[in-house]
Amino acid sequence: MSVKQLLILAPTFVSLFLLQSYFWVPTFEDQARGDPGRLTRYIQSSIGDASILNPTLSADSASAAINSLVFEGLIDRDMDLSFRGRLAESWRIFEEAYLVVDGSERLPDGTPATPEGLVRHLERARAAKHPSLRLVERIEVEPAEAVTAELEAEPAAPGKPAKVAQVTLRRPPRLKFTLTEVDQDFFARLDRLLGGYITRLDPRRFLDPALPPALRAQAAELIPPAEHNPVIVFQLRRGVRFHDGHEFDSGDVKFTYETILDPKNLSPRVPDFEPVKSVEPQGPYAVRITYKRLFQPGFESWGMGILPEHRLNREALRKEALALGRDPERFSVRDSRFNRSPIGTGPFRFVEWKTDQYVRLTRNEDYWEGPPNFREFYFRIIPDLLTTELTFYAGTTDEYGAQPHQVSRLRDDPRFKYYSGLALGYSYIGYNMRRPVFQDVRVRKALGMAINVQEIIDYVLYGQAEGTTGPYPRQTDFYDPTVAPLPYDPAGALRLLEEAGYRRNAGGWLQKDGKPLAFTLITNSGNEIRSAIMAIAQNAWRRLGVKVETLALEWAVFINERVDKGDFDAVVLGWSMGLDADLYQIFHSSQTGHFQLNFVGYSNPRADDLMVRIRQEYDPGRQVAMARELHRLIAEDQPYTFLYVGKWTQLFDRKIARLVPGPDGTSRYAPIVTTKLGSPKFHFTQWIKVPHPVDFPVHAAN
């Protein structure tokens, strides 16, 4: 049976199945008509159960959905995607920068570069308002001191850890600069003022000559000549309490950070917090976080939920381990019953978790921002998509994520509220640039120009997507809207391939130097949209004369054996993205090894430089300018054929509205409004169900 026949028959088949299935829709026993509690109970469905209710350990979307209601972070984003305080009321970001003093060097005026000489030279320049020192608040001298570091003494042998040596040495005096802002170019400008002093610094001068060569080679790690230390000082919200009544304070922030870094806990958040040098409480309501290097994406990491130290500290874990008959020395946060019965500071309290059935929450009456209007929240596990749809129609769940083929039918249904927006991410065809055939940009461009992306959007996705041209989400300022998409131009594609040296042989296939232009395109099985894209691409490329085979693989094999190991020619995949500008892991040339994310092997020195500078840039305007340049560069290089950004569509019961306090102290109903991303649930704590639908204008992102 052809794909076209299946598409024609599908509506009839689904209709019959709907009729047969309606009568076995699972319902809650308290869903009877007239139940007043239903108006204060919100029920959300999920195809999969949560795995672990601890924000420092979870890595799945189901757990994240529940954790976001039970826990709260120091910050999050407002409706316009700017950062706002949550458990933190405010914050200050500045920098402490350090410069090693080498008295054997000379300053531009010929005086020795002693601590006193350097300070006098710099203070004179500061008094004269030299631009290189415009951000300097003060300059101090740190005396010489002994420092201890652990370094790799011998490289790791296959299957064995590296040998580590502990080294103690005397670090020379340093100048400490306190800057009002973080400035990644501070030392470059300072070096010009000091006549190349920083460039000439050789950290090996300060090491004991008797150290083994392997350790001397790591001199810059032992004694970095210049060091950036960004600092965030959070002022914490007073009077916030965990669900058990214990007050939240700075110790909980420090404990959460230490939990993530503890190797026994195997936290997936380690890369976000590894750049942190120290977390230091400054009294109960302030915390100072110092980074050991420039890492701008680290700020958003503090939106992760904060754990209660008193529930999970070493003594609490020891008692729990003994009660369970476990070894306290081996018992970690990951082993704790807390992960199935969590306590946070969020708007909802955990009540019950029935595996593969539901998670039940109740509202936090003491929530610092005021208790939610919904008294209960149920997270129902319904693994079948059809049953999920039917439970929504039956009123036993309150929201439904419509599939692309359903949108035109449901968008104007008077029973529901409809919201739609662009996803944070994109789908693409990636080319393994280790393969000789894909090392010519003309080939990559030609392959992209041969694909009618609009056809994919119209007929595979039912119009529920938009084209994209580069690696950033379209809703962010980092996306450059001036970049033109590749045109759909098969004739132009063929001309590009001819420029690259390919000619048709007697059989009509393109070849160069006697070798055919041939490769295999792969994706994961079970994804009908990706399979359709694969078929469309294969057909388009074969019309050009390109020999293309396709292969769909089971997910684990696809990822672990092919993608992670770089064992593929071309691949259909997609990225879910965040809101920051950091693309280092996906496109930097240092990330092309096995099990790293730049599995297509993209490499461009200018792009590498931009990616490093972007993740080190704390000024939003400069970061946007660099991100847009990176967008243009990657679009020109075409390591991917960028296909589309999908749209999501969310339906809600029309009886849902917001109940907000009015200026006179009474409450009033108000419409649901959406964020810049189109999300309607920003004000979820204000949501409530009313006995009869209230018609408000629907604010939806389209």
- What's the pLDDT band for 18 if we cut at 50, 70, 90? very low
Report pLDDT digits (tens) over 348-373.
Answer: 999 999 999 999 999 999 999 999 99
Residue 524 has pLDDT above 60, yes or no: yes
Mean pLDDT within 590-597: 92
Residue 13 has pLDDT above 50, yes or no: no
Token representation of residue 43: 């029920």
**Residues 519 and 548: beta-carbon distance below 8 Å:** yes
How high is the pLDDT of residue 5? 29
How high is the pLDDT of residue 158? 59
Q: CA-to-CA distance for 486 and 452, rounded, in angstroms?
A: 10
Residue 17 has pLDDT above 50, yes or no: no
How high is the pLDDT of residue 149? 74
**Residues 676 and 79: beta-carbon distance below 8 Å:** yes
Give the residue from 210, 189, 217 showing the smallest Cα distance to 99: 189
Q: CA-to-CA distance for 485 and 125, rounded, in angstroms?
A: 50
Largest Cα–Cα separation, the chain: 92
How high is the pLDDT of residue 215? 75
- Higher model confidence: residue 556 or residue 431? 431
Mean pLDDT within 432-439: 97
- What's the pLDDT band for 170 if we cut at 50, 70, 90? confident
Mean pLDDT within 395-416: 92
How high is the pLDDT of residue 162? 64
- What's the pLDDT band for 31 if we cut at 50, 70, 90? very low
Do domains 3-72+320-406 and 425-648 share one topology? The answer is no
- What's the pLDDT band for 155 if we cut at 50, 70, 90? low
Q: CA-to-CA distance for 614 and 481, rounded, in angstroms?
A: 19
How high is the pLDDT of residue 214? 76
- Higher model confidence: residue 18 or residue 406? 406
How high is the pLDDT of residue 696? 56
Residue 701 has pLDDT above 80, yes or no: no
How far does CA 570 lie from the centroid of its chain? 25
CATH architecture of 425-648: Roll (3.10)
Residue 9 has pLDDT above 80, yes or no: no
- Tell me the domain boundaries of the chain: 3-72+320-406, 93-230, 425-648, 655-702
The single residue listed with the structure tokens 């001298």 is 141
For 90-131, give the DSSP string: EEEEEEEEEEE--TTSB-TTS-B--HHHHHHHHHHHHHTT-G
Round the average pLDDT of the chain to a whole number and report it. Answer: 90
CATH architecture of 3-72+320-406: 3-Layer(aba) Sandwich (3.40)
How high is the pLDDT of residue 693? 78
- What's the pLDDT band for 381 if we cut at 50, 70, 90? very high
Report pLDDT digits (tens) over 238-291.
Answer: 999 999 999 999 999 999 999 999 999 999 999 999 999 999 999 999 999 999
Token representation of residue 105: 């060097």
- In order of 86, 235, 342, the CA distances from 364 in angstroms are 16, 23, 13
**Residues 545 and 510: beta-carbon distance below 8 Å:** yes
Mean pLDDT within 182-209: 93
Residue 312 has pLDDT above 70, yes or no: yes
Report pLDDT digits (tens) over 599-657.
Answer: 999 999 999 999 999 999 999 999 999 999 999 999 999 999 999 999 999 999 888 99
* Residue 398 φ then ψ, to 5°: -110, 0
- What's the pLDDT band for 7 if we cut at 50, 70, 90? very low
Residue 699 has pLDDT above 60, yes or no: no
How high is the pLDDT of residue 154? 64
- What's the pLDDT band for 546 if we cut at 50, 70, 90? very high
Share of the chain above pLDDT 70, in %: 92
How high is the pLDDT of residue 2? 31
How high is the pLDDT of residue 20? 33
Residue 15 has pLDDT above 60, yes or no: no
Whole-prediction pTM value? 0.88
Q: 3-class SS at 615?
A: helix
* Residue 348 φ then ψ, to 5°: -125, 145
Residue 181 has pLDDT above 60, yes or no: yes
Share of the chain above pLDDT 90, in %: 81
- What's the pLDDT band for 695 if we cut at 50, 70, 90? low
